[in-house]
């Protein structure tokens, strides 16, 4: 399926406000409500819209500290990568885990209450991950740009 300009407008609006009513959305993208609804359903079915979520404020939830952790494994065997990925998926404090090209094998994004809480996460989870040869943590001082919206 090829996206047209109307599909792109729909996706742009929904990324900014996923709770918008169909009537409001149809008005913003200049479509009838029924045509807009059909397009949104098609975008969902085709996988352009992966889901709807509520984005929580980590500061309000007492988790203002963001830590990026670079991990280098002791090898690249499929079994080692699979074991690492299986275990890292079980760590509740990890928001993201990316397999990387470059100096580190994985990059983790972790939220914590403070440095002491991160030390707990490190002791309880990170130090027990299989195959880790090296780990380097960097604390975010301030978020300059943060968005979940993709260019469409």
Give me the CATH number covering residue 87: 3.30.70.920
Is the pLDDT at 42 greater than 90? The verdict is: yes
Q: Give the CA radius of gyration of the chain.
A: 20
Q: How confident is the model at residue 19 (pLDDT cuts 50, 70, 90)?
A: very high
Q: How many whole angstroms separate alpha carbon 14 and alpha carbon 25? A: 8
Q: Are residues 21 and 69 in the same domain?
A: no
Helix, strand or coil, per DSSP, at residue 124: helix
Q: Rounded CA gap, 10 and 3, in Å?
A: 10
pLDDT tens-digit readout, 75-124: 999 999 999 999 999 999 999 999 999 999 999 999 999 999 999 999 99
Q: Is residue 131 located within the same domain as residue 88? A: yes
Band the pLDDT of 1: cuts 50, 70, 90: confident
Domain count, the chain: 2
Domain interval for residue 19: 5-45
Q: Does this model's pTM top 0.85?
A: yes
What are 121-152's pLDDT values in tens digits?
A: 999 999 999 999 999 999 999 999 999 999 99
Q: Determine contact, residues 36/22, Cβ cutoff 8 Å.
A: yes
**98 domain residue, yes or no:** yes
Q: Is residue 113 a part of any domain in this protein? A: yes
Beta carbons of 143 and 111 less than 8 angstroms apart = no
148 lies in a domain?
A: no
């Amino acid at each position: 399926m090829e996206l047209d300009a109307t599909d792109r407008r729909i996706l742009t609006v929904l990324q900014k406000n996923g709770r918008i009513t169909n009537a409001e959305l149809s008005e913003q993208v200049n479509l009838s409500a029924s045509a807009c609804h059909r397009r949104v359903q098609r975008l969902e079915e085709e996988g352009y819209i992966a889901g709807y979520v509520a984005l929580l404020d980590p500061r309000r939830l007492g988790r203002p500290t963001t830590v990026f952790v670079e991990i280098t494994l002791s090898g690249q065997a499929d079994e080692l990568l699979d074991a690492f990925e299986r275990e890292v998926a079980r760590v509740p404090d990890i928001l993201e885990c990316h397999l990387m090209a470059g100096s580190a094998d994985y990059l983790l994004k972790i939220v914590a209450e403070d440095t002491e809480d991160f030390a707990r996460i490190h002791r309880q989870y990170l130090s027990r991950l299989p195959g880790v040869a090296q780990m380097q943590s960097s604390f975010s001082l301030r978020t300059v740009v943060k968005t979940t919206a993709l260019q469409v």
